[in-house]
Structure 1
Amino acid sequence: MTSAWVGERVRLRATEPEDWEAFQAFEENSDAVRNGWRLHPPTSAAHAKKRAAEVAEEALDLDTFRLVIATKDDNAPVGSLNTHSVDRDHGVFGYGISIGTPHHRKGYAGDAIVILLRYMFFERRFQKAEAWVYSSNEPSLALHRRLGFVEEGRRRRSRYANGRYDDEFLFGMMIEEFTERYA
């Protein structure tokens, strides 16, 4: 039997309380954190443990959720993935992805995104996925283009980080585009 949550390199799984240490370590690379959203002040180990335990106990919604991206072989956390901006009326959802710096350029993000899209398109009946990427995050821009996402728009100077303004690119992929490429 095969799990729908396992790809070639990764498995998507729920957060476990012991994941706190890996995620706190990922926060140490300020440039990587800025690429995802915003830089936060450092948190204590006690806070990181508490937050991981709280997330581990949250009930998962079928459409809006956060999952750990773990290596297929040893189940070690390498990043996280979440869905947001879910619009059931129109069948559109957004997602965010973050891979810890030591795990960049290993194919984990692309594998995780394909697993997520397969679930959202073929199990939850969505028809379009959207991703917003900052102009300073060149690896993510390249990843989304390589995966077959279409650049649909650009919000100029929509975010300030690290002393500069970034544009924000909107990428979209429809179920037909996904099916043509990945089914």
Structure 2
Amino acid sequence: MIDLFTGTAISLAAPRSSDIEEMKTWRNSHYLRMVDTDYAFPKVPESPSKALEFRIRTNEEDQLLGFAALHSIEWNNQCALLAIGIGEEEHRGKGYGAEALQLLLQYAFYELNLNRVGLDVISYNEPAIRTYRKAGFKEEGRLRETVLRDGKAFDRIVMGILRREWVALQAE
């Protein structure tokens, strides 16, 4: 049997109440502008949602690195959207997000029996776009100039992956 929540370097873990304070430090404007299309604003921890939320933690030190979630789940259509983020700049570009993405897709397709997982990403978030493409996501469309930042307009890229596409990539 596969371990649904543990990868080589990281694990998808349940949220802890102690995470809130650390995650507040990630809410600087740069981080918010990379993962959210809403305007940057210091946010209060949200009330529990219907999303399946995980924290990304290192296996060795149990250090909090980020979050991953499946949300907007439509059970009748076997589809969901995902959100993922690595909090501190020093932890980005090390493969943690890519590994968390693979674990989240494994969970979505093998445990939840979903057929499709989608997302949207701001066009200037090139590292995330590369990670999604490498994981097998395909661009399905663009919402042109829907994100306005610093006097410039950016597209929101809609991407998705089907279960059969992801399974085929795992076999390679």
Is TM more than 0.5 here? yes
Q: Hey, what does 2:14 align to over in structure 1?
A: 14
Identity %: 27
Q: Distance in 2 between matches of 1:14 and 1:163?
A: 39
Aligned counterparts, 1:1-183, within 5 A: 3-28=3-28, 30-37=29-36, 38-42=38-42, 51=45, 58=48, 64-100=51-87, 101-182=89-170
Count of aligned pairs between the two proteins? 169
Residue 42 of structure 1, CA deviation: 3.4
Unpaired runs of at least 5, structure 1: none
Cα offsets for 1:18-72 (capped at 9, x unmatched)? 21232122123x22220110344336xxx6xxx3xx86xx5x86xx311111111
Q: Distance in 2 between matches of 1:39 and 1:104?
A: 22
RMSD: 2.1
Unpaired runs of at least 5, structure 2: none
Query: Which of the pair is proportionally richer in helix?
Result: 1
Pair 1:72–1:132, CA change in 2 (3 A) = same
Moved >6 Å (runs of 4+): none
SS of the residue corresponding to residue 66 of structure 1 reads strand
Q: Distance in 1 between matches of 2:150 and 2:13?
A: 32
TM-score, normalising length: structure 1: 0.83
* Contact 2:109–2:115, Cα closer than 8 Å, also in 1: yes
TM-score, normalising length: structure 2: 0.88
Pair 1:15–1:122, CA change in 2 (3 A) = same
Q: Distance in 1 between matches of 2:14 and 2:132?
A: 24
Q: One-letter code of the match for 2:103? A: I
Q: Distance in 2 between matches of 1:172 and 1:133?
A: 11
Q: One-letter code of the match for 2:80? A: F
Q: Distance in 2 between matches of 1:32 and 1:150?
A: 24
Q: Distance in 2 between matches of 1:104 and 1:125?
A: 30
SS of the residue corresponding to residue 114 of structure 2 reads coil
SS of the residue corresponding to residue 17 of structure 1 reads coil
Q: One-letter code of the match for 2:24? A: Q
Residue 85 of structure 1, CA deviation: 2.0
